Structure 1
Amino acid sequence: MPYDRWHKSRPKDGESTCKEHGKVPTRDHGTGKRWQARWRNREDVQQTELFRTEVEARRHETKMRSGVDDGSYINPRAGEVRVSELALTWLKGHEHKNPRTYRRHKERILLHVVPTAVGKMRVKDVNASSLLDWLHDRRRLLESSTLRLVFDNLRAVFDLAVDDSLIHKNPRLAKSVQDAKPKRGGGGRADLTLTWEDTEKIRAELPDRYKALVDCGRGLGLRQGEIFGLSPEDIDWAHPDGAMVHVQRQVVHDGSFLVYALPKGGDDEDPKDRWVELTDDVAIPLREHMEKYPPVEVTRPWGSKGGSPVTARLIFYTREKTAIQSNWFNSYRWKPALASAGLIKPLEPDAKGRRWEKSRDVMMHALRHLYASMMINGGVDVYTLADRLGHADPAFTLRKYVHRVVGAGSKVRIAVRSAYTGAA
């Protein structure tokens, strides 16, 4: 039963009673909340919390005792920590992972969580309404893709709160919040943005030293940075199953500085390296390229600007025999080739210096989409395809990389007809 702080439970004979309640008052009479809920936690230590009414105190007391009995008990004071403090704790746990990924996490947490209203709240006080207000505020500052990444970081912070028994459930997972969260670009494109014919036109328009990049994209499914980091030592020509490419390195930016790094998402514990089949259709133009432009040794730091220097022989490099900088390549090699192929239109320079119309969907990454859809159309299962693309989740591969197959309707009819014919 809740304890009445304002009145003595065992008054002495002759003590005066208060006029309002007709009971003997304590020294706390009329100050603070009257009712105190009392219970013992899982360590059998008494806990207390104050309430305005007896009903509220009794309800809370019952809830706490039930939690102790069924194992779901969480100390009400555990959630007193501020979201910003917990976010920094979560961030510290990622400090020794991939340094570039850590910096992106840090930037998002420090800019869009710590200084916000949600960041200043106690963890236990954050609810769906708080997160909806936060979303509304951040939408005025961030593009949907960036906001989604920040929101994923915030979910991880509240997952930590649940794991540490600070709160019962993650408010980020509330249905109202899920309905309002930034959506992923329409669930994947229905149609390919570059066809095989388009890639042939682009290949023809690229400078000779960069033509084979197209083959590595559409024939191996590599990311741009993985192509730029490809070495002849990564190719096993004598593999028992046929020539294979070991994808174990990429050229990426650490700020404005080029570095070598593990494939996307990789770290020391899980490097995310993978093997991809190299067919003659890709091997022949790759060999021809290396005959014309022999691989050169290029030394770059590993992982970050201050990382240890690593030397690799690169198949693709600039005329100055340096690693290819993606921004430069996209602006001065890829987009001009797109324009010459009639796939984008050149524009007059504006205040931002843009020379081409928006072309995000037809950049080199579209070659990976073409590779993925060709594999599915050719009968490769999604689990194998996800492995070749370096995806941990095959569902992501289906959602983002597999597009509408030309003539799919007739294939459905043939499949059903074959099933019935076989059964008969």
Structure 2
Amino acid sequence: MDDSLIPKNPCLAKSVQDAKPKRGDGGRAELTLTWEDTEKIRTELPDRYKALVDCGRGLGLRQGEIFGLSPEDIDWAHPDGPMVHVQRQVVHDGSILAYALPKGGDDEDPKDRWVELTDDVANPLREHMEKYPPVEVTRPWGSKGGHPVTVQLIFYTREKTAIQSNWFNSYRWKPALAAAGLIKPLDPNAKGRRWEKSRDMMMHALRHLYASMMINGGVDVYTLADRLGHADPAFTLRKYVHRIVGAGSKIRIAVRSA
């Protein structure tokens, strides 16, 4: 530009934005929900929804996959030990709830997967199903115009319907966050239900906790990506694995035992 070869500096165009600095400290962000936080949330949730927390942090399922979980998906006699077959989710098509394949699934690749079911999840699930026996819920498959499919659901509302995520988030999950002291309670003088922004503390954070615990426990990233339903292990490391407080002690143990 100084040599008059171009009339304007292209770097000053409005479409050019400053680069955002990368996350500091040479690592990933801390977990937004710790195990202790999830225990508080579990305590504050209504009884019929407490085991949702166990499925999120102990199986790494997405919210819709938990809502679509059926006792028929559990193989208690699997040769490798009890396993959960993740093969559907509850989704929205406008105002209609429908069943669908897991995220990214299609007829050629349904994206179903198997996840180990440990006692930490199996026991509360059994207790939950004793108190709230699974019920058959019929919803369209794929979209509101899809063919009807009936599934026995482990988790459902008092009206024995599939759980609508927006309703659950606003009327069950966020009140539990507030009662646990993790977000501010609703302002009684405000118009509508305007919760404090808490995107990083929604049920998906349980999936992040699961991923971080698995890596911290020695599970390789390829196996973890498979359990989470990710095609790219690099994506799993980049987006789902966070620093866990106290994990550095494992380095000392590993060095001493080398």
Q: Report the TM-score, using the length of structure 2 for normalisation.
A: 0.87
Partner-residue secondary structure (3-state), 2:85: strand
Kept in 2: contact 1:188–1:400 (CA 8 A): no
Partner-residue secondary structure (3-state), 1:212: helix
Q: Report the CA distance between 1:412 and its aligned residue.
A: 3.2
Q: 1:399 to 1:163 in 2, by over 3 A?
A: farther
Q: 1:231 to 1:171 in 2, by over 3 A?
A: farther
- The aligned residue for residue 131 of structure 2 is 292
In the aligned structure 1, how far is the partner of 2:146 from the partner of 2:6?
39
Q: Report the CA distance between 1:320 and its aligned residue.
A: 0.5
Q: Deviations over 1:196-231 (max 9, x none)?
A: 111111111111111110110011110000000000
Partner-residue secondary structure (3-state), 2:61: coil
Q: Deviations over 1:235-257 (max 9, x none)?
A: 00110111100000000101121
Q: 1:232 to 1:377 in 2, by over 3 A?
A: same
In the aligned structure 1, how far is the partner of 2:21 from the partner of 2:198?
22
Partner-residue secondary structure (3-state), 1:202: helix
Q: Report the CA distance between 1:352 and its aligned residue.
A: 6.8
When Rg is computed on C-alpha atoms for both structures, the one with the higher figure is: 1
Q: Report the CA distance between 1:408 and its aligned residue.
A: 3.8
Structure with more of its chain in helix, by fraction: 1
Q: 1:203 to 1:173 in 2, by over 3 A?
A: farther
In the aligned structure 1, how far is the partner of 2:45 from the partner of 2:67?
15
Q: Report the CA distance between 1:177 and its aligned residue.
A: 9.3
In the aligned structure 2, how far is the partner of 1:325 from the partner of 1:170?
51
In the aligned structure 2, how far is the partner of 1:191 from the partner of 1:386?
20
Q: Report the CA distance between 1:163 and its aligned residue.
A: 40
Q: Report the CA distance between 1:397 and its aligned residue.
A: 0.6
Q: Report the CA distance between 1:366 and its aligned residue.
A: 0.6
Alignment equivalent of 2:42, drawn from 203, 217, 220: 203
Kept in 1: contact 2:56–2:207 (CA 8 A): yes
Percent of aligned pairs sharing the same letter: 93
Q: Report the CA distance between 1:413 and its aligned residue.
A: 4.1
Structure 2 unmatched ranges of 5 or more: none
Q: 1:409 to 1:205 in 2, by over 3 A?
A: closer
Q: Report the CA distance between 1:396 and its aligned residue.
A: 0.7
Q: Report the CA distance between 1:233 and its aligned residue.
A: 0.4
Partner-residue secondary structure (3-state), 2:243: coil
Kept in 1: contact 2:27–2:243 (CA 8 A): no
Q: 1:182 to 1:259 in 2, by over 3 A?
A: farther
Kept in 1: contact 2:211–2:224 (CA 8 A): yes
Structure 1 unmatched ranges of 5 or more: 1-161, 419-423
Q: Report the CA distance between 1:398 and its aligned residue.
A: 0.4
Q: Report the CA distance between 1:172 and its aligned residue.
A: 18
Q: 1:407 to 1:354 in 2, by over 3 A?
A: same
Kept in 1: contact 2:179–2:185 (CA 8 A): no
In the aligned structure 1, how far is the partner of 2:90 from the partner of 2:141?
10
Q: 1:389 to 1:168 in 2, by over 3 A?
A: farther
Q: Deviations over 1:150-182 (max 9, x none)?
A: xxxxxxxxxxxx999999999999999999799
Instruction: For CA contacts below 8 A with separation 6 or more, give which structure has more relative contact order.
Output: 2
In the aligned structure 1, how far is the partner of 2:161 from the partner of 2:49?
14
Q: 1:415 to 1:397 in 2, by over 3 A?
A: same
Kept in 2: contact 1:187–1:400 (CA 8 A): no
Partner-residue secondary structure (3-state), 2:90: strand
Alignment equivalent of 2:102, drawn from 263, 269, 274: 263
Q: Report the CA distance between 1:409 and its aligned residue.
A: 3.6
Q: Report the TM-score, using the length of structure 1 for normalisation.
A: 0.54
In the aligned structure 1, how far is the partner of 2:142 from the partner of 2:24?
29
In the aligned structure 2, how far is the partner of 1:272 from the partner of 1:340?
36
In the aligned structure 1, how far is the partner of 2:238 from the partner of 2:82?
29
Q: Report the CA distance between 1:354 and its aligned residue.
A: 3.5
- The aligned residue for residue 83 of structure 2 is 244
Kept in 1: contact 2:44–2:180 (CA 8 A): yes
Q: Report the CA distance between 1:416 and its aligned residue.
A: 4.0
- The aligned residue for residue 142 of structure 2 is 303
Q: 1:415 to 1:340 in 2, by over 3 A?
A: same
In the aligned structure 2, how far is the partner of 1:204 from the partner of 1:293?
18
Question: RMSD of aligned C-alpha atoms?
Answer: 5.9
Q: Deviations over 1:20-41 (max 9, x none)?
A: xxxxxxxxxxxxxxxxxxxxxx
Q: Report the CA distance between 1:395 and its aligned residue.
A: 0.6
Aligned residues between the structures: 258
Q: Deviations over 1:42-91 (max 9, x none)?
A: xxxxxxxxxxxxxxxxxxxxxxxxxxxxxxxxxxxxxxxxxxxxxxxxxx
Kept in 2: contact 1:210–1:316 (CA 8 A): yes
